[in-house]
Amino acid sequence: KQIFNEALQKGTMEGFFRLISYFQTQSEPAFCGLASLSMVLNSLSIDPGRKWKGPWRWFDESMLECCEPLEKMKDKGISFGKVVCLAHSSGAKVEAFRTNQSTIDDFRKNVMKCSTSDNFHMISTYHRGVFKQTGTGHFSPIGGYNAERDMVLILDVARFKYPPHWVPLKLLWDAMDSIDQSTGRRRGFMLISRPHREPGLLYTLSCKDESWNSIAKYLKEDVPRLVSSQHVDTIER
């Protein structure tokens, strides 16, 4: 309570109140990524574009499968990259960073950014073992920051295991700076906010099937560049 009150007085709990209104428990042991994302999307009031139940338009874990089959995620979980894909194709703006693409100082600045505004939320993926918790890779939203103590509040979506808890920012960075054995890549964090425009179909296709990546890149980047050039006829070749 003391850590929370200190952060509240300093204005670094601004994102907490929206997030806590949509705090949920993951419905399956491997659904931490889906639960974290649906919680953040709902807190940002992003329209899922379809009904959940009855007349209600609401994000639920079961609706987040455009980038990976739900049954596969139920069995194997989901990777950092696929959560980024889901967030983007669900209508959010996403800035994603693995630890080898950022620094602890940049991470701290981004935590501060999310903690002093309710327009941005952060999801972190980390290895529980660094916290001496049971389990391995995990996703959860960041609910706040105490700058004086340099501690972050993790809103753990596995509420059947752990309640929300404060951890030193350096320790969270160390937990993120680990290798996901399923992909061979480092973990990290993502900032999620409302977009200025809807995600494109090509982006969703490129996430869903990696074979689309080169085609999507050509259509999104190369064709517009060719059209804007003086030699438009080269497109036909």
**Whether residues 229 and 132 fall in one domain:** no
Count of domains for the chain: 2
Per residue in 18-52, pLDDT (tens digit) is 999 999 999 888 899 999 999 999 999 888 877 66
Whether the per-residue pLDDT at 136 is higher than 50: the answer is yes
**Mean pLDDT confidence for 52-56:** 70
Residue 105: φ, ψ to 5°: -70, -40
Say yes or no: 232 and 164 in one domain. no
Average pLDDT over residues 136-142: 96
Percent of the chain residues past pLDDT 90, beyond the cut:
61
Please report, for residues 16, 81, 105, the alpha-carbon distance to residue 207 in angstroms, rounded to integers and kept in the order given: 30, 9, 30
Residues 229 and 186 reside in one and the same domain: no
Nearest to 96 by CA among 206, 18, 187, 223: 187
Write out the H or E segment, with its range, that includes residue 224: helix 223-228
Kindly report the CATH number assigned to the domain that includes residue 117.
3.90.70.30
60 given a catalytic annotation: no
Residues 56 and 118 both lie in one domain: yes
Average pLDDT over residues 166-187: 96
- Same domain for 237 and 146, yes or no, is no
- Mean pLDDT over all residues of the chain? 84
Q: What is the pLDDT of residue 220?
A: 52
Q: Which of 85, 127, 156, 180 is catalytic?
A: 156
Does 195 share its domain with 213?
no
Q: Are residues 75 and 147 in the same domain?
A: yes
For the chain, the distance separating the N- and C-terminal CA atoms, rounded to the nearest angstrom, is: 67
Active site residue 156: yes
| Distance, CA of 51 to CA of 112 (rounded, Å) | 34
Give dist(CA 189, CA 208) in Å, integer. Answer: 21
pLDDT value at residue 83: 92
Out of 138, 177, 180, 207, which one is annotated catalytic? 138
Mark whether 184 and 107 lie in a shared domain: yes
Residue 127 annotated in active site? no
Give the confidence band of 236 by pLDDT, cuts at 50, 70, 90.
very low
CB environment 34-51: b (16+ within 10 A), e (fewer): bbbbbbbbbbbebebeee
**Would you state the pLDDT for residue 33?**
92
Domain carrying residue 100 = 2-199
Same domain membership, residue 153 and residue 59: yes
pLDDT at 235: 38
pLDDT at res. 198: 55
